[in-house]
Amino acid sequence: MFKIMLTDTVFSDFAVEEEEIRKIGATLALATYRDEAEMVAALRDADGLINHFAPMTRGVMEQLSKCRVISRCGVGYDNVDVAAATDLGILVAHVRDYCIEEASTHTFALLLACARRLFPIDRSVRAGRWDHAAGRPMRNLATQTVGLVGIGKIGSATAKKALAFGLKALAFDPYAKSAGPDIELVSFEALLERSDYICIHAALTEETRGLFSDAAFARMKPTAYLINGARGAIVDEGALLRALSERRIAGAAVDTVVQEPPDPDNPLFKLDNFIVTSHVSWYSEESIELLRRENARAVSDTLTVGRPKYLVNPEALKKVRRTP
């Protein structure tokens, strides 16, 4: 009988996951621990792991001699050392096809909040003013350009919404051969220079970490807005603070920051041209259900048929520890 462990969870129970795991006759339990040594002891005998945020480092995985798969509960997997997992023959899975509508809708909601200057106008009304002064300058969306950094499923869905509102769409994605109808693939530099709104939908990798630096902000229009619905560390927060404080760009709206939960004293939070939401772009009741089931299925599929639906490191198949 396979033993599957939850390394951690943000949910109040794991009934959904357990329902899926029982279909293959496996057991599922939630690990409890206070430090890394206790975590390793709790996970040591597991055939597969369902992971939320617990760091899966090389040092941890080297001690999990039975583990064949780690399934990350989400699209991103930056808390898993994928190179180490590959060396050790551990498959890394994620859930790539959930929250596409939710995340793209949230991104576009942030874009609209910037475009229509909703928060400055709200503050103005609450302060006793009833005019359009707080909304100036405001532009017709049909005269504007959105730039997508990353044109995968969520980026493409965001572009579709933008095109429906009449915006022109650019995309930068070094892994994309085409971007779809009415979306122009351009260099990163061209996207920075031509976009009125830049929406980040890229994965956090060594190549994208700190991608939005002082140099990147210097290339953006002074009237442009940055919208980050991906990972906080793609943006150098020091550089963003300088760009916003000095009004070198018009504003930023983010659903994710480098440190989560953030420090309440984060200086970005004191700026009037900065909007932040609490990493909720993935959320709907429907997306939670899909995420939890697909995450559990990735583990059960690996243990029964040899690979998950969405495999991050196919190179590990050559080194996998045990065939089903």
Q: Tens digits of per-residue pLDDT, 47-57?
A: 999 999 999 99
| Active-site residue, selected from the candidate residues 260, 286, 289, 322 | 260
Quick: pLDDT tens for 284-323: 999 999 999 999 999 999 999 999 999 999 999 998 765 4
209: annotated active-site residue: no
CATH entry 3.60.21.10 includes domain 100-276: no
Please give the mean pLDDT across all residues of the chain.
96
- CATH class in words for 3-97+285-318: alpha beta
201: annotated active-site residue: no
Equal CATH topology for 3-97+285-318 and 100-276: yes
| Active-site residue, selected from the candidate residues 231, 237, 294, 297 | 231
Percent of the chain surpassing pLDDT 90: 95
| Active-site residue, selected from the candidate residues 279, 293, 307, 321 | 279
Tell me: pLDDT of 324 over 60. Answer: no
For the chain, domain boundaries? 3-97+285-318, 100-276
Quick: pLDDT tens for 197-255: 999 999 999 999 999 999 999 999 999 999 999 999 999 999 999 999 999 999 999 99
279: annotated active-site residue: yes
If 0-12 CB within 10 Å is exposed, 13-18 middle and 19+ buried, where does residue 318 land? exposed
The dihedral formed by the CA atoms of 229, 232, 234 and 239, expressed in degrees to the nearest 10: 120
